[in-house]
Amino acid sequence: MPKSGKRAGLRETPLDASDLDGDPLKQFAAWFQPRAGSGVPEAHAMTLATATKDGSPFARTVLLKEATERGFVFFTNYGSPKARQLMENPRATLVFYWPEVHRQVVVSGRVTQVTDAESDAYFRTRPRGSQLSAWASRQSERLESREALERRVTELDGQYAGREVPRPPFWGGFRLVPERFEFWQGRSSRLHDRFCYSRDGGRWVIERLAP
């Protein structure tokens, strides 16, 4: 959990149930969009926590690319450890932390792969350098040298000179469909405000949690 205590220059912001939208996705947008639109570095960065089939935990930072009523989308190499873990054990947790406002959001749920059409559409929006990198990098595998990686990118750039770079078949997206949200507002003396949204049939139930 982020450090408690009052930080220099940070105004304490109380959070009450009456401040929350009944829809957790709308509440997430209310906290996320000001960060994303105000020049906060990597406001869309999130910790993705996964586990292997036998329960061994792993976590790393990835980038949020979409947050809609359908879920939270991110992209990766399908041969990477995180992708293999999600295919073995399709449950995960996302953690967003914005220290400049002392806020955290935790989102948990089931994960599925997005369609090829969705992955293709997003891949086409990426800068050409990022497209080439997706082909060049066998994510998390041992690498002979930085030079070998850069040489591979140069080869690919020549291979696709004058034409569109296609999406690698081993690269694409995942979507986490939320089953639980937690919104955390830092307060002084570790008396933080925490609220949990959980599913009860077709509706969301909001409960205050002890800090």
**What is the C-alpha to C-alpha distance for residues 42 and 96, in angstroms, rounded to an integer?**
11
Residue 137 counted as domain residue:
no
Q: Any binding-site annotation on 63?
A: yes
pLDDT bucket at 191, cuts 50 / 70 / 90? very high
By residue range, what is the domain housing residue 201? Answer: 17-125+170-209
Instruction: Give the closest residue to 44 by CA, choosing from 58, 59, 29, 57.
Output: 29
- Helix ranges (DSSP H) in the chain: 24-36, 81-88, 116-125, 128-136, 146-159
**Does residue 2 lie within any of the structural domains?**
no
- Tell me if 148 is assigned to some domain: no
Instruction: Please tell me whether 184 is known to bind a ligand.
Output: yes
- Is residue 113 a known part of a binding site? no
Structure confidence at residue 39 (pLDDT)? 78
Q: Is the dihedral of CA 182, 187, 190, 191 positive or negative?
A: negative
25 near 45, Cβ under 8 Å?
no
Does some domain include residue 74?
yes
97 belongs to a structural domain: yes
Residue 10: pLDDT over 70: no
Number of domains composing the chain: 1
Q: Is 139 annotated as a binding residue?
A: yes
Tokens of 196: 């949990």
Which among 190, 199, 203, 208 is annotated as catalytic?
A: 190
Mean pLDDT for 23-32 is 97
CA 204 – CA 29 distance, rounded (Å): 16
190 in catalytic set:
yes
Could you tell me which of 170, 168, 169, 174 has the C-alpha nearest to residue 87? 174
94-to-42, 82, 91, 130, 146 alpha-carbon distances in Å = 15, 13, 10, 24, 30
Q: Tell whether the model's pLDDT for residue 171 goes beyond 50.
A: yes
20 labelled binding-site residue: no
Find the mean pLDDT for residues 68-88.
97
Which CATH number characterizes residue 47's domain? 2.30.110.10
Evaluate whether residue 149 is within a structural domain.
no
pLDDT, one tens digit per residue, over 123-142 is 999 999 999 999 999 988 89
Residue 7 pLDDT grade (very low, low, confident, very high; cuts 50, 70, 90) = low
For residue 85, tell me if it sits in a domain.
Answer: yes
Domain assignment of residue 62, yes or no: yes
| pLDDT on residue 94 | 98
